[in-house]
Amino acid sequence: MIRQTIKGSLKAIIAKYLQDKGITDSLNFTLEVPPGNIDADFALNAAMLIAKKVKTNPRTVAQELIDITVREIPELIEKAEMAGAGFINLHIKNEILYKELETILREKDKYGSFPENNKEKILVEFVSANPTGPLHIGHGRGAAIGDSIARILKHLGYNVTKEYYLNDHGNQMLVLSKSVEIRFKQLKGEKIDFPADHYQGGYITDIAKRLVSENRNIDKINFKYEAVKEILSGIKNDLKDFAVEFDGWFSESKIIADKDKNGKTEVDKTCKYLLSKGDAYVKGGALWLASTKFADGKDRVLKRSDGRYTYLASDTAYHKNKFERGFTKLVNLWGADHHGYVARIKACIQMLGFDKEALDIILYQFVSLVRNGQSVTMSTRTGEFITLKEVADEVGKDACRFFFLLRAPDSRLEFDLELAKKQSSENPVFYVQYVNARCSSIIRKSKNIGGITAEIKNIHFSLLNTKEERDLIKQLAEFCDTLALSEKTMSPHHFTVYLIELADIFHKFYEKCRVLTSDANLTSARLKLIEGVAIIIKNSLNLLGISVPDKM
């Protein structure tokens, strides 16, 4: 938490400086890690921003801030220097680095957590694929992103629930049921055409084959039940193998079909409420949502003239149900093709009397697979789409999750299957996991060396003073900043970037700094640094749902 501590102190210093200049505005400055060719720990851009406000030379402001900073926080800053047009390069005290390393060693898997966040209840809803077929790779990316976001929020101390919304009602279920029924009849010898707009996948035939093998009487088969049961079982197994387990599975039928003692469903009551408030109206025999009042492009149908509710109606009732269950923040993971749906569901949240900012919708782009430089477009099993299970089985769960998380959700992802299978430093997940394996190996070897000090209080951390050692400790401390950035952007990809950089810095350290030396005090200090690396690697990979092997 070094950067956050220093930034907090600088915020107070800059606020006082502005006040003395008669400026009451706050300043949104940055404190960044400078490029590798700059000899400094952090770079501050505040002087150039302030200079515009006070209309003076940025270097003059920079020098004044340098003098104040060195005077006000000498326990944090070793020295401050001016660079370029007015940047301030800061060098932090080594003692701050050692203190942060000690914190990591003591807190271990609790490092970066804030128990006081527990009062906020967050519901993360993701995947929520229709139970009409196996999960494809697009669902897999959503699963990796959503599960990792939930893990990150939980690590930060929030009360997190992961939920899958099961769309098990409506026309798609009728088509699914009919698809299995027709395949069943065909297998029993009936000459019947299969409609082009029905579900074509081989899994439909597999379900029908099972029913035939069980000698089931067609008049006694609930085809919808049998199809959903088998498909959902496959979805749950695929997700479990992918290290994704939900706290709850919420059925759409609960919203749109289950009735209270007065014969009303939750969607009935939700639509009636919107109508009573004037946020819905009847026109042409249909019920319309007046969503244009809340920045939507046009009003939307909630209930068709034939009495059938739209998906928007059930989704609105579902979000109302989420808030009524006591959740204070909702996080939804949707495919990028739902972009146009965001404004209207936000409008619904407002109409129901809830804060639209309490709903965070993350849109993620789909995945394209590449093998040997060529696009992979067809599934070997179904001839229609590439399933999550196929990819995870080929490259492994760890590589699959890591590659899905290499880019921000709103960035398109090209997944190189051959690279994901490589057991070399070219493969980023192997590169990162190997760091932990090497740390574990060094720690095992140290057990046979005498004179090693294990107690933190007896470690001479001041011996960790080379550039490589300082850089490594600084990168370990960036774990907390990566947590904060991931929460702010609701994107776990910051951790894959962080881990690859940590691996780079570790290898530079390992090349220059021998850990097991003839100096017991130096060896003890470096072993604690290695232990800190292992803790952070483990914590970070756990947040991504990726295993942490001790040997490779």
User: What is d(CA 545, CA 550) in angstroms, rounded to the nearest whole number?
Assistant: 16
Q: Are 25 and 18 in contact (CB under 8 A)?
A: yes
Q: b vs e for 510-543, b when ≥16 Cβ sit within 10 Å of the residue's Cβ?
A: beebebeeeeebbbbbbbbbbbbbbbbbbbbbeb
Cα–Cα distance between 358 and 356 in angstroms, integer?
A: 5
Task: Specify which residues 89 forms β-bridges with.
Answer: 43, 81
pLDDT at 385: 77
Distance CA 477, CA 243 (A): 27
- Do 376 and 352 contact (CB within 8 A), yes or no? no
The total number of residues written for the chain in this structure: 552
Average confidence (pLDDT) over 304-329: 95
Segment 58-106, tens digit of pLDDT:
999 999 999 999 999 999 999 999 999 999 999 999 999 999 999 999 9
Give residue 511's pLDDT.
Answer: 97
CA dihedral (270, 272, 273, 275) positive or negative: positive
Three-state SS annotation for 213-242? HCCCCHHHCCHHHHHHHHHHHHHHHHHHHC
Report the pLDDT averaged over residues 227-232.
96
Q: What is the pLDDT of residue 364?
A: 97
- Please check the confidence at residue 381 and state whether its pLDDT lies above 50: no
pLDDT tier, 383 (very low <50, low <70, confident <90, very high otherwise): very low
Report the distance separating Cα 481 and Cα 4, nearest Å. Answer: 7
Number of Cβ atoms within 10 Å of the Cβ of 410: 13
User: 430 pLDDT band (50/70/90 cuts)?
Assistant: very high
Backbone angles phi, psi at 548, to 5 degrees: -125, 85
Record the tokens describing residue 43, joined without a space: 């770079």
Alpha helices in 156-293 (DSSP H): 171-187, 202-213, 223-241, 252-256, 266-277
Among the listed residues 102, 97, 93, the one whose alpha carbon sits nearest the alpha carbon of residue 470: 97
Express each pLDDT in 452-478 by its tens digit.
888 999 999 999 999 999 999 999 999
> Is 379 a residue whose pLDDT tops 70?
no
Nearest to 42 by CA among 88, 100, 97, 98: 88
Strands 77-83 vs 87-92: parallel, antiparallel or unpaired: antiparallel
Residue 454 and residue 457: Cα distance in Å, rounded?
A: 9
Mean pLDDT of 239-258: 95
The model's pLDDT over 391-405, given as tens digits with 9 standing for 90+, comes to 999 999 999 999 999
In angstroms, what CA-CA distances link 362 with 145, 187, 389, 491? 10, 43, 24, 9
CA distance 206 to 538: 41
277-314: pLDDT as tens digits: 999 999 999 999 998 888 788 899 999 999 999 999 99
Average pLDDT over residues 411-416: 95
pLDDT over 90 at 201, yes or no: no
Average pLDDT of the chain is: 94
Structure tokens given for 529? 């640094």
pLDDT digits (tens, 9 = 90+) for 110-141: 999 998 888 899 999 999 999 999 999 999 99
Give the integer Cα–Cα distance in Å for 506 and 527: 13
Q: How far is CA 467 from the centre of its chain?
A: 32
Q: Please give the domain boundaries of the chain with CATH numbers for all domains.
A: 1-92 (3.30.1360.70), 171-242 (no CATH), 424-544 (1.10.730.10)
3-state secondary structure 60-96: HHHHHHHHHHHHHCCCCEEEEEEECCCEEEEEECHHH
Collapsed DSSP state (helix, strand, coil) of residue 309: strand
pLDDT tens, 50-62?
999 989 999 999 9
384 pLDDT higher than 70: no
Torsion angle in degrees (nearest 10) through CA of 164, 165, 169, 170: -120
Burial class (CB in 10 A: 0-12, 13-18, 19+), 470: middle
Amino acid identity, position 90: L
State residue 163 phi and psi, 5-degree precision. Answer: -135, 145
Q: Which residues does residue 376 pair with via DSSP β-bridges, in sequence order?
A: 369
Q: With b meaning 16 or more CB within 10 Å and e meaning fewer, what string describes 313-331?
A: bbbbbbbbbbbeeebebbb
Average pLDDT over residues 152-172: 94
380 pLDDT higher than 90: no
Average pLDDT on 315-342 reads 95
Q: Please state, in angstroms and rounded to a whole number, the distance separating the CA atoms of residues 173 and 228.
A: 8
